[in-house]
Amino acid sequence: MTGTASQLEPLLPAKRRETPLPALQLAILCMVRLSEPVAYTQIFPYVNRMMELLHVTDDPAQIGFYSGLVDSVFALAQLTMIFQWGRLSDRIGRKPCILIGITGAACSTLLFGFSSSLYTALLARTMAGLLSGNIAVIQSMVGEMTDETNQARAYPIVELIWYMGSIVGTLLGGTLSEPAEHFPEVFGDIQLLKDYPFLLPCAIAFSMAMFGVLIGFFFLEETLPAKRKANGLPPFGGYDAIPTTEEPSKDQVEGNRPSVWSLITDPVIISVLRPYFLLSLQVTGLEVVFTLFSYTAIHLGGLSRNPAEIGIALAAGGLFAAVTHPFLFPALSKRFELKSLYCAMILTLPLSYMSLPILNIVARRMTDPENEDMLTPHGRIVIWILIGMMLVIMRLGGMAYAANTIFVKHAAPSKEALGSTFGVVQTVGSVSRGLAPALVSSLFAITASHNLMGGWFVWLFMAGVGVVSIFAVLHVRDGAYERERGIPRR
């Protein structure tokens, strides 16, 4: 095959021998990556309590609004910058962008721990969002480390690190917030922790992030092809290993970087963006509404679970995903065509939504005769088994992210535009993740208040979104396949 340095590798013929993963560099990347989900998720267990102690409002019913505002400013700030980070990494390299991002996460987390007002907390979260573009850069790095034969093994490993970090972060925030009050024999005499009761989990997250920066600075290798060539490094074996007939000049490399407009109007990229937007909307909405549904009283359509039980359920679901995804997705991708696998994973999400009202129906039939919101001992066992089954189905659907990431890699119009392409996709994902909590929470409240469609409206609506997303997946175009056969992108 002939080609230029701007070409991506085609969809390879079957039975090509699998390329070994660059295990050491992938492990280092994962170590650097781990601190980000820890820093991001450690605030969730205590953010409502923090808003109470900051006295942002005298109305307890408004606490949730301000807690949501703290997370919303992060999403908004991330939305404005995530594409810019991906595009910048196409120019200066992946490694410096990742190190800047992790440093930003560390500093903003420490600032959040020192927050003594709502404005300081919002400033810290805004700073975190502005510097939170690493997901697009990391996906680009993995794409450049891998090829068609081993990428299905690599992307779930990176996803695994997010789940692991989320588990560590929520446990960290839930256990070590207000340490002077909860562990007076150890921290009771430390005035700093009395003045800033949420500093300890933030300080630990800060330390983890800075450790990740040091590891990355000394041991993480650059993957951007142009930078590796300039530094005299051999190709990684992914996009950088594509044989070329001639070496591109700097001007040619710059010319291969498409404009923002060309990316967002590229029909192949658009075909990948549609299902990703709907996928992020469903997964984020499901996580939000599961928490809300579980906490809501049984007679109002929920399960009457307390925050500790909800936290355990979510952690268990995350643990299941962390253990199974890195092994299950590669095995399935070898047996089934990627688009068919993507559709099957998407199908689990509407099933998960429709399982929630059925859980409530079961719960209503297993309540204590003297208390309509308290389950009988037998009922608690049954509900926990059903919750476990629902979470398994839900987390299986999360593997759709790995499938989508491979399609995004294939959709990039050139290897010089890989970071920009991931940046565009993650920007769309940020919009979806920002929209989902408000949309699903509002639909749940309206459905419960007005008993719309017998209390089923929110579930039918989101299941309908899932059906639409299946059709969107069916219309995904595989850029690698089309390049192999010379099919025009337009």
Each as own residue / partner, the long-range contacts of residues 303-309 (CB below 8 Å, 24 or more positions apart, any chain) are 303/359, 303/360, 303/363, 303/383, 303/387, 304/363, 304/373, 304/374, 304/375
Query: CA-to-CA distance for 291 and 311, rounded, in angstroms?
Result: 9
- Residue-level pLDDT at 1: 40
Q: CA dihedral in degrees (45, 48, 53, 55; nearest 10)? A: 160
Q: Minimum mean pLDDT among 27-31, 208-212, 226-230, 310-314: which range?
A: 310-314
pLDDT per residue as tens digits for the range 419-439: 888 888 888 888 887 788 778
Q: How far is CA 234 from CA 38, 139, 240, 241, in A?
A: 34, 20, 9, 9
Domain ranges of the chain: 20-239, 258-483
- Architecture (CATH level 2) of domain 258-483: Up-down Bundle (1.20)
pLDDT per residue as tens digits for the range 338-349: 899 999 999 999
- Residue-level pLDDT at 64: 60
DSSP 453-488: GGGTHHHHHHHHHHHHHHHHHHT---HHHHHHTT--
pLDDT band at 256 (very low <50, low <70, confident <90, very high): low
The CATH number assigned to the domain with range 20-239 reads 1.20.1250.20
Query: CA-to-CA distance for 155 and 143, rounded, in angstroms?
Result: 9
pTM for this model (two decimals): 0.75
Phi/psi of residue 373, nearest 5 degrees: -110, 10
Mean pLDDT calculated for residue range 59-66: 66
Going by C-alpha positions, the residue among 112, 132, 124 that lies closest to residue 36 is 132
- Residue-level pLDDT at 15: 53
Mean pLDDT calculated for residue range 440-465: 84
pLDDT per residue as tens digits for the range 380-410: 899 899 999 999 999 888 889 889 988 988 8
C-beta of residue 360 within 8 angstroms of C-beta of residue 387:
no
Same fold? 20-239, 258-483: yes
pLDDT band at 65 (very low <50, low <70, confident <90, very high): low
Portion of the chain with pLDDT greater than 70, in percent = 90
Widest pairwise Cα distance in the chain = 81
- Residue-level pLDDT at 243: 40
pLDDT band at 61 (very low <50, low <70, confident <90, very high): low
- Residue-level pLDDT at 468: 93
Tokens 């990428």 appear where? 151
Portion of the chain with pLDDT greater than 90, in percent = 31
- Residue-level pLDDT at 7: 44
